[in-house]
Amino acid sequence: MIRTILLVAVSTSFVLSAPKDNGCYLDVVANAPSAPLVVNSSLQFPTPIGAKTTQVFFAQGETFYIGCPGGSFNYPILANGEPAVCHQDTTISTLKSQQTVDFNQVYCTLDQTLRPDLFEQVSDDGCENGGKIQSVGYSIDDQFVETYRICYNSSEKSILYVKYLTNQWMNQLRVYDPNEVPKVWSGIFQTDLKQIYNTIQPRIEDLGVVGYITNVSYLEGGFLAPYYNFLSPFQRDTTFDMANAPLQWATVTAGNWQAMEDSLQWLLTYKDFGDVIMLGGTLGVADLPDNDGNPVDLYLVNGTSLPVARWFWKLMHSPSTSSGILFFVYNNPYVAKPQVDKEFFTNLCDEDVIDEAKFLTGVDNLNPYSGYIYACVLDLYEIIDPTMNDIVNNLFNDQGILTGAQSPAPKLPKIED
């Protein structure tokens, strides 16, 4: 079920203090896929106490929230969530239902195929290129818990980017089946997105572009915030909102886009980069020739909206290590590399640093079906595209990072640093 409400959502980063003698050590995903949703008093997903553990710490007497969206508890606790307080070790008590329980014995009784009971919340905030912000997450105790936010253009029906936080604990959830989670067909564009995605080929052919969609090469949703970038199963469930999945060629999805995502996940789980800001987005409009050889922009609605993106991109920035990188993947398997190279160096970045991303593996930059991949440093003087320049500049401003000739750009992420 999906609900849309109007709210100004404010996202802040919350870092737990060091563990203390008196308090609760709660393994928040030990009972997955029946683990409850747990967030701290700031409505943020708490950070585990150390590497290779999913235990979080709450001080004795500290208040947090516990809930079970889309299900109920095996204890008489409010399923929609309520405040709880830490006593000691794994003993907690709830403030509304007034239950004292052992956290390790708390299970959500739910059918994962019935999740997610997520919320899409429209914000009054704007974003780059005249876009609007919509947040996706859960409600707990009638308060919103954000997983990620989407910058989108409502008139063009396009997704500029999805923004979220991740860290080295993302791969510590051992029991999770993404195939059990239903897709949620977002109402973000106030149109029948499912019907559009199910009629891609005739819509492309109606543009006069014929013969490009085959059993091997076809368009499908490419996820900008992949589920495996999150620890909590509730966070993971929300990524199957299809507003998070603009159309991408399937061979690109399985090719260099997946290789890049896998490499980033390996990097961020191998080494502690702290809370990492991730943005995954799209840029431009892909085109293919019609029967007369004329290029046709691939808009799926009325020839003017819901475009197939020309580029997919992924930005990683670690404030604590002053490192970051920006990847671009070309979303068209029918264009030769010399032309794509020219587009990249003319329109996107002055320099391609893909060979300096030593953590990147599994890339095939000889096969157009894999999606040619490039990389840029997070340097405003190197990024040519004005929209991407604005995105990076605003990211730096949000982090209080100075820009200019006297301020060095974030270094490329490396394992050995």
- For 283-309, the pLDDT digits (tens) are 999 999 999 999 999 999 999 999 999
The stretch 224-228 carries a mean pLDDT of 97
Residue pair 102/27 in contact (Cβ under 8 Å)? The answer is no
Note the residue count of the chain. 417
The CA distance from 63 to 388, in Å, is: 40
- The pLDDT assigned to 404 comes to 61
The CA distance from 117 to 121, in Å, is: 13
Query: HEC string of the chain?
Result: CEEEEECCCCCCCCCCCCCCCCEEEEECCCCCCCCCEEEECCCCCCCCCCCCCCEEEEECCCEEEEECCCCEECCCCCCCCEEEEEEEECEEEECCCCCEEEHHHCCEECCHHHCCCEEEEEEEEEEHHHEEEEEEEEEECCEEEEEEEEEEECCCCEEEEEEEEECCCCCCCCCCCHHHCCCECCCCCCCCHHHHHCCHHHHHHHCCCCCCCCCCCCEEECCCCCHHHCCCHHHHHHCCEHHHCCEEEHHHHHHHHHHHHHHHHHHHHHCCCCCEEEEEEEEEECEEECCCCCEEECEEECCCEEECEEEEEEEEEECCCCEEEEEEEECCCCCCHHHHHHHHHHHHECCCCHHHCCCCCCCCCCCHHHCCEEEECCCCCCECCHHHHHHHHHHHHHCCCCCCCCCCCCECCCCCC
DSSP lists the bridge partners of residue 118 as 2
- The pLDDT assigned to 417 comes to 58
Residue pair 333/364 in contact (Cβ under 8 Å)? The answer is no
- The pLDDT assigned to 182 comes to 87
Structure tokens at 331: 């979303």
Q: What is the pLDDT of residues 89-139, one digit of tens each?
A: 999 999 999 999 999 999 998 776 665 577 888 888 899 999 999 999 999
Q: What angle do CA 59, 60, 65 make, to 5 degrees?
A: 70
DSSP lists the bridge partners of residue 86 as 92
The CA distance from 171 to 231, in Å, is: 7
Q: Which distant-in-sequence residues (6+ apart) come within 8 Å of 294 by Cβ?
A: none
Would you place residue 175 in the very low, low, confident or very high pLDDT band (cuts 50, 70, 90)? confident
- The pLDDT assigned to 15 comes to 40
Q: Which CATH architecture has domain 117-399?
A: 3-Layer(aba) Sandwich (3.40)
Of 402 and 104, the one with more pLDDT:
104
The CA distance from 147 to 139, in Å, is: 11
The residue ranges of every structural domain in the chain are 23-110, 117-399
The CA distance from 56 to 50, in Å, is: 9
- The pLDDT assigned to 20 comes to 52
- The pLDDT assigned to 51 comes to 79
Q: What are phi and psi of 315, to 5 degrees?
A: -115, 130
| Res 2 pLDDT > 50 | no
Q: How many CA atoms does the CB half-sphere of 69 hold within 13 Å?
A: 27
Of 114 and 181, the one with more pLDDT:
181
Name the average pLDDT for the chain.
91
The CA distance from 297 to 309, in Å, is: 10
Q: Which residue has the tokens 């609760």?
A: 24
- The pLDDT assigned to 97 comes to 96
Residue pair 370/256 in contact (Cβ under 8 Å)? The answer is yes
The stretch 254-259 carries a mean pLDDT of 98
Q: What is the pLDDT of residues 201-212, one digit of tens each?
A: 999 999 999 999
The stretch 32-38 carries a mean pLDDT of 92
The stretch 20-37 carries a mean pLDDT of 89
